[in-house]
């Protein structure tokens, strides 16, 4: 197991030298210092003027008390070799995790029936877009197999529909011996997003993508007012992320 990890790390380190842009300039010390040499590298799989679609799935995180997975659908267009517009839709799959159950279980016992609820925010769905920049491409030769990949960075915005149990949480913190029901309210917020993308060109048309996407939005939080005073509602910029694995088709 350890040897496999070391081998994978070495492959990754040595493969970093394979990445370059279409207009990279290389300096050769044995040439006149005033001269520049442009090295033209053939790109097996070109992006320019092509549409693409993909579907993906992966784990996400917004709340410490939720187990979250995300279903993703994406469509985009490369208007040049390195730049693309991309639209996406995410659907969140949320459920209470072990941390949530532990808090409820520990605070319910020996308190006359009182239940203290963990504060939860969870994304239900998101729709938005990115401006995608793909400055690096690579050709990785491993065990006589050649992998062609693109490394990309994206900035964008999205409308996020989410649920939260803020009112129920505040009530549970002030309720004395009342048993509180965990009820959720729906809300929405606009987020600023940033992502890193690794795209493997399996063939001219079929692609495999890995996306690490981050979302930053001002959503319902809690502000503690002090001992005996409980909580009040507050808006706070909170980050969330998804780790998405996708299969795509480029036309």
Query: What is the three-class DSSP state of 75?
Result: strand
Average pLDDT over residues 80-101: 95
Residue 4, domain member (yes or no):
no
DSSP class of residue 17? G
Query: Would you state the structure tokens that stand for residue 151, as one six-digit string?
Result: 């490394």
Residue 27, domain member (yes or no):
no
Contacts of 138 (CB under 8 A, 6+ apart): 15, 18, 19, 20, 147, 148, 149, 150, 151
Residue of 225 and 98 predicted with greater confidence: 98
Residue of 30 and 152 predicted with greater confidence: 152
Residue with token string 């320019």 = 48
What backbone torsions phi and psi does residue 152 show, to the nearest 5 degrees?
A: -135, 160
With a cut of 90, say whether residue 71 has pLDDT above it.
Answer: yes
Range of the domain at 157: 43-250
Residue 35, domain member (yes or no):
no
How far is 175 from 28, CA to CA, in rounded Å? 74
Asked whether 102 and 51 are in contact (CB, 8 A), the reply is no
Average pLDDT over residues 119-129: 95
What backbone torsions phi and psi does residue 12 show, to the nearest 5 degrees?
A: -65, -45
With a cut of 70, say whether residue 31 has pLDDT above it.
Answer: no
DSSP class of residue 16? G
State the average pLDDT for the chain.
Answer: 82
Per-residue pLDDT band at 52 (split at 50, 70, 90): very high
DSSP class of residue 11? H
- Considering its fold, how many domains does the chain have in total? 1
Per-residue pLDDT band at 228 (split at 50, 70, 90): low
Residue 133, domain member (yes or no):
yes
List Cα–Cα distances, 174 to 14, 114, 171, 233, in angstroms: 59, 10, 5, 14
How far is 222 from 209, CA to CA, in rounded Å? 37
Query: What is the three-class DSSP state of 165?
Result: coil
With a cut of 90, say whether residue 42 has pLDDT above it.
Answer: no
Nearest to 87 by CA among 104, 100, 75, 101: 75
Residue 15, domain member (yes or no):
no
Per-residue pLDDT band at 235 (split at 50, 70, 90): confident
Asked whether 136 and 20 are in contact (CB, 8 A), the reply is yes
Residue 121 is predicted with a pLDDT of: 93
Residue 93 is predicted with a pLDDT of: 97
CATH code assigned at 83:
2.40.160.20
Residue 23, domain member (yes or no):
no
How far is 24 from 18, CA to CA, in rounded Å? 12
Whole-prediction pTM value?
0.78
Beta bridge partners of 20: 137
With a cut of 70, say whether residue 168 has pLDDT above it.
Answer: yes
């Amino acid at each position: 197991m350890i040897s496999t990890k070391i081998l994978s790390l070495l492959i990754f380190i040595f493969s970093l030298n394979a990445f370059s842009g279409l207009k990279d300039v290389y300096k050769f010390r044995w040439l006149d210092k005033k001269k520049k040499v442009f090295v033209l590298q053939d790109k097996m799989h070109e992006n320019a003027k092509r549409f693409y679609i993909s579907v993906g799935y992966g784990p996400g995180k917004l709340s410490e008390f939720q187990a979250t997975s995300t279903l993703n659908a994406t469509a985009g267009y490369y208007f040049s070799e390195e730049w693309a517009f991309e639209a996406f839709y995410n659907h969140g799959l949320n459920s209470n995790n072990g941390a949530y159950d532990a808090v409820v279980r520990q605070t319910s016992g020996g308190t006359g029936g009182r239940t203290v609820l963990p504060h939860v925010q969870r994304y239900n769905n998101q729709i938005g877009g990115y401006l995608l920049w793909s400055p690096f491409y690579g050709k990785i030769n491993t065990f006589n197999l050649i992998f062609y990949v693109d490394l990309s960075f994206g900035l964008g915005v999205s409308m996020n529909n989410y649920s939260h149990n803020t009112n129920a949480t505040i009530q549970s913190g002030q309720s004395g011996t009342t048993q509180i029901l965990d009820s959720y309210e729906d809300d929405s917020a606009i987020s600023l997003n940033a992502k890193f993308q690794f795209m493997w060109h399996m063939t001219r048309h079929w692609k495999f993508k890995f996306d690490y996407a981050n979302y930053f939005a001002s959503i319902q939080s809690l502000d503690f007012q002090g001992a005996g005073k409980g909580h009040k509602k507050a808006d706070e910029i909170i980050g969330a992320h998804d780790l998405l694995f996708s299969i795509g088709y480029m036309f």
